[in-house]
Structure 1
Amino acid sequence: MTLFGLVRHGQTEYNRQGLFQGSSDVPLNETGREQAHVALDTVPPVDWDLAMSSSLSRAEETARIIAEDHDIPVAGTEPRLVEIDWGAAEGNPVAEMEERYPGRAFPGRETTQSVVDRAAEALEDLAEQHPGKNVLVVAHGTLIRLLLSGVTGEHLPSIPNGTLSLIEVEGETWRVRMVAGDEVEFPAVTVPRDRSPRFALDDLHLRPQGLEPARD
């Protein structure tokens, strides 16, 4: 079994201003760096074997801060864990773009299922590479929430900056243990690897527009 700690990166100026951020490479602001320093302060301690992040700078810097504070080895980045690509909405105000494109049907945006599929694939590969280890992964709010929602079948709330969620992966079995710092107890979900897509949000009756936070 591999335990993954999924941390949402700290705040950026796009977050603060209410702009769609997605796959744009926006750095942390000072508040975001402070959030990184305290990200693990209010959750049960775990002996993390390694830390890694998505390849976007806000996640990479958050991981580096946490790793330095807690003496965790850094193992690089994983491009499949970058945030959803909002297409034409990126860099624009949330309210304006949602009014212009009902249902968030932004030109060029990535599908919800694509985000879940690549995130699940990345964690599966990391679980194979690090069996029995505790792996801290800094990623992004929408990606984390969609992945956890796909596993649990629940409409999970927005993931705040600098919070920790826990998910266990053992072979084809997945179990969510914590969501944004709150301990939970969801049943384990077994998904065969030859299933495509792995976690079908439509099969779980999850409405994509209901899963996405106001911005990320």
Structure 2
Amino acid sequence: MPTRIYLVRHGATELTAEDRFAGSTDVPLSDEGRHQAAALAERLKCDRLDGIYASPMGRTIETARIVGASHDCQVQVEPDLREIAYGRWEGRTRDEIEREFAEEYGAWEEDPLTTAPAGGESGIQVLSRALPVMRRIVQSHRHQSVLVVSHKGTNRLLISSLLGFDARGYRDRLDQSPAALNILEFANDVRARLRLFNDISHYDPLPGRCAEQRLSRWWSQPIQGDDGA
């Protein structure tokens, strides 16, 4: 049996609904986020979980506790699974940042892997702390199944790196909805395959924003040479 990682993004918060950057801002789940997590708990209640890990933020710990309530595991906090720190962008909406820090935001949109907001983190910095945690979890739970609850950016960076994708495009090409389920299986400590990605079928009937609004602006830009015909 391969090692199975249930990699989950935390449920929705009020800042999620407002499209605000909240990497290092500790905000609780909204009522909608709790419903999303409860729906995922119902989905996974018959699956075996041999361990539960979460970033230290309130929204991830609460999600992990809700999802793992029917399993005999304590939530173990891993500080290095936390979200990207957005520095002076924290708490601001995307539109505000585009207006006030246009040059900085443009550079970050172009290459979020090596570029960071003032006072914040780049994607490389996130990977340098989060990847060793993931490897340690896999090593500690060989041939077992583990729930890992983290964040939108951190999850996308981890998946890109583990699968050998160009992580510079993680914001353009990968999405993570609130309380989304990803399943990764490891043949050994480093060889991973993706079995499920960004699945929200456990709460799909609930209202939500369209995927395009959660991706970077690059996704909605017109294709060069497209005249709209």
Do both proteins adopt the same fold according to a TM-score greater than 0.5, normalized to the shorter chain?
A: yes
**Is the CA contact 2:185–2:192 (under 8 Å) kept in the aligned structure 1?**
yes
Tell me which amino acid in the other structure corresponds to 1:159: Q
Please name the residue that 1:189 is paired with: none
Counterparts of 2:175 and 2:42, CA distance in 1: 20
Matches within 5 A, 1:186-201: none
Give per-residue Cα distances to partners, 1:7-27, cap 9 Å, x unaligned: 100111111111110121111
**Is the CA contact 2:52–2:73 (under 8 Å) kept in the aligned structure 1?**
yes
Question: 1:138 and 2:156 equivalent?
Answer: no
CA distance 1:87–1:47, shift in 2 (3 Å): same
Shift of 1:117: 2.5
Normalization by structure 2: what TM-score?
0.73
**Is the CA contact 1:20–1:93 (under 8 Å) kept in the aligned structure 2?**
yes
**Is the CA contact 1:83–1:143 (under 8 Å) kept in the aligned structure 2?**
yes
- From 103, 110, 118, the counterpart of 2:107: 103
**Is the CA contact 1:159–1:180 (under 8 Å) kept in the aligned structure 2?**
yes
Shift of 1:133: 1.3
Please name the residue that 2:63 is paired with: 62
- Tell me the C-alpha RMSD between the 2 structures: 2.2
Tell me which amino acid in the other structure corresponds to 2:87: G
Query: Which of 1 and 2 has greater Rg?
Result: 2
**Is the CA contact 2:41–2:68 (under 8 Å) kept in the aligned structure 1?**
no
Counterparts of 2:215 and 2:31, CA distance in 1: 22
Shift of 1:41: 4.8
Matches within 5 A, 1:146-161: 146-152=157-163, 153=165, 155=169, 156-161=173-178
Give per-residue Cα distances to partners, 1:79-114, cap 9 Å, x unaligned: 110000111101111111134232335211201112
Question: 1:17 and 2:18 equivalent?
Answer: yes
Please name the residue that 2:224 is paired with: none
Q: Which runs of 5+ in 1 are unaligned?
A: 183-211
Shift of 1:171: 2.3
Shift of 1:157: 2.2
**Is the CA contact 2:41–2:66 (under 8 Å) kept in the aligned structure 1?**
no
**Is the CA contact 1:151–1:176 (under 8 Å) kept in the aligned structure 2?**
no
Counterparts of 1:124 and 1:151, CA distance in 2: 10
Q: Which runs of 5+ in 2 are unaligned?
A: 109-115, 201-213, 217-229
Q: Could you tell which deviates more after superposition, 150-159 or 125-134?
A: 150-159
Please name the residue that 1:165 is paired with: 182
**Is the CA contact 1:10–1:28 (under 8 Å) kept in the aligned structure 2?**
yes
Report the number of matched residues: 184
Shift of 1:45: 5.9
- From 121, 124, 129, the counterpart of 1:118: 129
Counterparts of 2:75 and 2:44, CA distance in 1: 22
